[in-house]
Amino acid sequence: MSLRDYTFWFVVGSQYLYGPEVLETVASRAQEMADKLNASGKLPCKVVYKVTAKTSKEITDVIRDANHDESCAGIITWCHTFSPSKMWINGLVNLQKAWCHFATQYNREIPNDEIDMDFMNLNQAAHGDREHGFIGARLRAPRKVIAGYWQDADVQERLGKWMRAAAGAAFSRSLKVMRFGDNMREVAVTEGDKVEVQAKLGWQVNTWPVGELADGIAAVTQAEEDAMMREYESLYDIATDNLDAVRYQAREEVAMKKMLDREGCRAFSNTFQDLYGMKQLPGIATQHLLATGYGYGAEGDWKVGAMTAIIKFMTEGQKGGSAFMEDYTYHLVPGQEYSLGAHMLEVCPSVAAERPRIEVHPLGIGGKEDPARLVFEGHAGSAVVVSLVDMGGRLRLICQDIECVKPIMPMPNLPVARVMWRAMPDLKTGLECWILAGGAHHTVLSYDVDAEQMKDWARMMDIEFVHISRDTTTESLEHELFLNDLAWKLK
């Protein structure tokens, strides 16, 4: 399924107290609101008006149907009138989809001349949404609350961003990850409890033999290799005479894609320590797979591979780009404090500022032939870096706001793609916070999601979330981590 295939069900709370005329008005307005929201162009997925619910049975029924509908990624609830909340309990305790309480109102203005008690009884969202909010709080139900006028662009945009997070949660629950080889020897942060991850996030993380991939590479036909080379030539500048190296990457990509698609996997990991039967570490092969929507993690880092796939899915149709990334080295000149992110090869060209070049250079580690890779600079702009770590007993998602810049120097001898950024709130504080939180060197760098969306996603998956922002201090973060540790031990 693509992002656009998901739907969100609009469920409007009411009761029989008001008589049929009011209920008909509520239902027709709810349909009108769904239609106008869909026509706004601000939402990535369709809103489907389902019911003006007046009884516990209607609510329980619609939530059961939502749970069983694969295309439904969440419900959006709102109370045009007053809806007594005990009617919602039996439904909400069984809700398995994302929930947004949309605290809005049909009319924007209080009509000075028209307003009377009939108007007040029909238009009492201010009243009904508080009753509705209480039951969400009382049940400790994971939910998003979005308040504001439903025709305002900023309100619609927030609803759209929440929809992307909810679709990401649905995608997560069906995600399969293909591991070629194990994690890099002795590395801790790329490890994780795959059973816990499957229970919480839904990921099916399994391994396939690298030897099978090597056989697949050998079996790629000349026509398949030629077609992939034409694709590379259409997208990238060839800046090497070693076309044989590029052709080998094309064969690797064809073979990896076949295995991924055969098994229904949308993310993969590999490691330079296990390239049995392969001539090169995949470079452009992995980079181009990333550009077409697959997730990837190096050194066996299947967690970052899966997160890359999820964020790419959430941001379908957006233009900023999302990439597997690694914090590599710092520029610590006062007033010019930047991180330089890169990897051995595998940065996704979706974040490129210019048309990438295909180059071939030796790789200092792995003992294989010189791999072909895409070399480019990342573009300027606001972004986040995201890391999922296994704390033992729970998962923690860390998200840091960053400001990417055009790299301040050309670095002509650096043979890999690179992105330069300023971490929030500043390099030193941001680094202290990242290290205190246990964030990995591998991240997903995305220009298209923001911290609020990642927080929404983490809440839907019931995992810990830590945000390092413009306002974070080392002291406040240490306090938050201490309290989180206590809270998650009790949960």
Q: Which is nearer to Mn ion, 253 or 326 (CB)?
A: 326
Contact region for Mn ion (CB under 5 A) — 47-55, 74-82, 101-109, 320-328? 320-328
Q: How far is the CB of 294 from Mn ion (least distance, A)?
A: 17
H-helix or E-strand containing 30? helix 20-39
Q: Which is nearer to Mn ion, 101 or 441 (CB)?
A: 441
Q: What share of the chain is helix, strand, coil (3-state, %, to 5)?
A: 40, 25, 35
Smallest CA-to-CA distance from 309 within 352, 264, 367 is with 264
Distance, CA of 163 to CA of 145 (rounded, Å):
13
- Beta strands at 357-360 and 98-103: parallel, antiparallel or unpaired: unpaired
Q: Which is nearer to Mn ion, 125 or 281 (CB)?
A: 281
Examine residue 326 and tell whether it contacts Mn ion (CB under 5 A): yes
**CB neighbour list of residue 435: distance below 8 Å, 6 or more residues apart:** none
Q: Which is nearer to Mn ion, 104 or 269 (CB)?
A: 269
Smallest CA-to-CA distance from 128 within 88, 163, 99, 98 is with 88
Contact region for Mn ion (CB under 5 A) — 88-96, 100-108, 273-281, 298-306? 298-306
Task: Check residue 319 and report its DSSP letter.
Answer: S
List phi, psi (to 5°) of 225.
-65, -45
Contact region for Mn ion (CB under 5 A) — 297-305, 352-360, 385-393, 448-456? 297-305
Examine residue 390 and tell whether it contacts Mn ion (CB under 5 A): no
Q: Which is nearer to Mn ion, 361 or 442 (CB)?
A: 442
Q: Which is nearer to Mn ion, 189 or 210 (CB)?
A: 189
Q: Which is nearer to Mn ion, 60 or 190 (CB)?
A: 190
Q: How far is the CB of 203 from Mn ion (least distance, A)?
A: 20
Q: How far is the CB of 190 from Mn ion (least distance, A)?
A: 8
Distance, CA of 12 to CA of 79 (rounded, Å):
6
Q: How far is the CB of 151 from Mn ion (least distance, A)?
A: 47
Task: Report H helices in 332-473.
Answer: 427-437, 451-461
Q: Which is nearer to Mn ion, 128 or 297 (CB)?
A: 297
Q: How far is the CB of 405 from Mn ion (least distance, A)?
A: 22
Q: How far is the CB of 179 from Mn ion (least distance, A)?
A: 15
Q: How far is the CB of 342 from Mn ion (least distance, A)?
A: 10
**CB neighbour list of residue 199: distance below 8 Å, 6 or more residues apart:** none
Q: How far is the CB of 181 from Mn ion (least distance, A)?
A: 14
Which residues lie across from 98 on neighbouring strands? 74
Contact region for Mn ion (CB under 5 A) — 34-42, 57-65, 129-137, 322-330? 322-330
- The two most distant CA atoms of the chain are separated, in Å, by 82
**CB neighbour list of residue 207: distance below 8 Å, 6 or more residues apart:** 178, 179, 180, 181, 182
Contact region for Mn ion (CB under 5 A) — 105-113, 168-176, 216-224, 321-329? 321-329
Burial class (CB in 10 A: 0-12, 13-18, 19+), 148: middle
Contact region for Mn ion (CB under 5 A) — 49-57, 227-235, 318-326, 482-490? 318-326
How many residues lie near Mn ion (CB under 5 A)?
3
Q: How far is the CB of 324 from Mn ion (least distance, A)?
A: 9
Are the beta carbons of 472 and 432 closer than 8 angstroms?
no
Examine residue 51 and tell whether it contacts Mn ion (CB under 5 A): no
Contact region for Mn ion (CB under 5 A) — 104-112, 141-149, 299-307, 408-416? 299-307
Examine residue 298 and tell whether it contacts Mn ion (CB under 5 A): yes
Distance, CA of 58 to CA of 65 (rounded, Å):
11
Contact region for Mn ion (CB under 5 A) — 4-12, 219-227, 293-301, 459-467? 293-301
Binding mask 222-261 for Mn ion (x = CB under 5 A): ----------------------------------------
Beta strands in 334-479 (DSSP E): 336-342, 357-360, 372-375, 381-390, 395-405, 418-423, 442-446, 464-468
Strand order of the β-sheet with 267-269 is: 204-208, 176-180, 267-269, 295-297
- How many residues does the structure list for the chain? 491
Based on its alpha-carbon atoms, the radius of gyration of the chain, rounded to whole angstroms, reads: 25
Tokens of 37: 């929201």
Q: How far is the CB of 441 from Mn ion (least distance, A)?
A: 6
Examine residue 129 and tell whether it contacts Mn ion (CB under 5 A): no
Q: Which is nearer to Mn ion, 170 or 298 (CB)?
A: 298
Q: How far is the CB of 67 from Mn ion (least distance, A)?
A: 39
Q: How far is the CB of 299 from Mn ion (least distance, A)?
A: 5
Q: Which is nearer to Mn ion, 155 or 298 (CB)?
A: 298
Contacts with Mn ion, residue ranges (CB under 5 A): 298-299, 326
